[in-house]
Structure 1
Amino acid sequence: MKPVVHIVDDDESYRTATARLLSAYGIRVEVYESGDAFLARLPGCEPGCVLLDLQMPGRSGLQVQHQLSELAPLLPIVFLTGQGDIKAGVDAMKAGAQDFLEKPSSGAVLMETIQHALAQYERRRTEYERQQQMRTLVAGLSAREAEVFGLVVRGHLNKQIAYALGISERTVKVHRHQVMEKLGARSLAEAVSIAADIGLDHGQVRRDAK
């Protein structure tokens, strides 16, 4: 699917000029006159990035950024700032923006920035899909396997796990082997990494188990 660059800016002349420039490079473009208009037509799962004006009437760029972090976290944001508004752009990057551009900027700088943002989208998408795959594998553990997994990733030894769960150490070893097989983990470090990557602590592993 061809990526889309979403231009969100209350300056009609800038929206139009930028859309024409990007279209000339073969890039799909959607334009919005405000943050509210963009959020009302929030895109689905298509790849892309957002050129977002920092200062707009109504909902500000930073407010839109906050909404996007919840509604479309994969979309990188490039903030558009006016002259002398560099500090606000830096603050936006600290809040998670991919980059910021001072208006006006050259076509070459604009294209380079967009290419970096689209590459960032692909990295985010790949990581998100990997995390979803890991969550599916963890959700496939039995209740007992999930308990063992939770204790293993917290660094407990087999005998400690056996005592905590009231089972034999041999049974722990069987469950531990099954967990490693199901998750495709070749070492304890990989098992711990899986738990960390998907943000699961011991309690969550047990609650999410079948």
Structure 2
Amino acid sequence: MNPLPDSDIATVYVVDHDAAENDTLCAHLIDAGWRARAFVCAASFLAAARSTGPGCLVLDADLGTPGAGLALQSTLAAMQDPIPVVLIAARADVTASVRAMKAGAVDFLTKPLPAGALLDAVGTALAQDRRRLGRERASIDVIERAQRLSQREREVMALVAAGRMNKHIADELGISEVTVKIHRGNAMRKMEARSFADLVIMAHKLGMTSPALYHGGIGRHRRETA
């Protein structure tokens, strides 16, 4: 069996100041079929290279110093790091739990960790990250397809997405309505749009819905053949 590419392998990063606890958590996660990497401090985690695949962070709320783990969560948020976070703590702390959840934590679990609860939380976090990656990859695909378009096809696509009728687009661009239809069809084909609505959605993703984004003033009444 061929190994999965790195971009498809789920990795769980565990940050806990207790090395023995790290080893135990990683063993459970590996048994569940995930790849696990352990760190004993925030700095080592922040400095480490990460997989391009889905991932999540299992983070001790204190890291040996009260609130240190929550501070790392805040740092990640400030960095706009999208990694989902599962907080774990040695004791129940309502204030810390509320703070963590408001900051976007997937879950807040108290030690000793019930294996089922931890695996459920990690599974939810990884599913969340897979959805994010899926959205990002879809956006990249749309951008790559858009690079196939000619300038005129971009202009027509932008005006179509802005709600212009073919005859109005022809008037604005100074081309015939038949030519508009040809460029519109080419844009549909090159963008691999399954429907007109699909093309409009792609245009929105590309920010092509404003008429100001095409080269206006390019001979409003000048007739062209292409």
TM-score, normalised relative to structure 1 = 0.79
Pairwise CA RMSD of aligned residues?
2.8
Structure 1's consecutive aligned runs of 4 or more residues displaced over 6 angstroms after TM superposition are none
What runs of 5+ residues in structure 1 fail to find an aligned partner? none
What is residue 74 of structure 2 aligned with on the other side?
A: 62
2: CA distance, partners of 1:152 / 1:145: 10
Shift of 1:169: 1.8
1:28 aligns with 2:40: no
CA 1:122/1:78 → structure 2, altered by over 3 Å: closer, same or farther?
same
1:132 aligns with 2:137: no
Shift of 1:153: 0.8
What runs of 5+ residues in structure 2 fail to find an aligned partner? 62-66, 216-226
Pick from 77, 102, 115 the counterpart of residue 85 of structure 2: 77
What is residue 221 of structure 2 aligned with on the other side?
A: none
TM-score, normalised relative to structure 2 = 0.75
Shift of 1:130: 2.1
1: CA distance, partners of 2:58 / 2:35: 13
CA contact (8 A) 1:148 1:176 kept: yes
Post-superposition CA distance 1:15-74 (Å, at most 9, x none): 3432243244453211122332212103031332211345317953111233252xxx4x
Alignment of 1:1-210 (within 5 A): 1=4, 2-12=9-19, 14-54=21-61, 55-56=67-68, 60-67=72-79, 69=81, 73=82, 75-80=83-88, 83-84=93-94, 85-93=96-104, 97=105, 99-104=106-111, 105-202=113-210
Shift of 1:90: 2.1
Deviates more, 1:142-151 or 1:83-92: 83-92
1: CA distance, partners of 2:212 / 2:17: 44
In terms of fraction of residues, the more helix-rich structure is 1
| Bigger Rg over Cα | 2
Post-superposition CA distance 1:103-141 (Å, at most 9, x none): 223111001111222223333333322221111111211
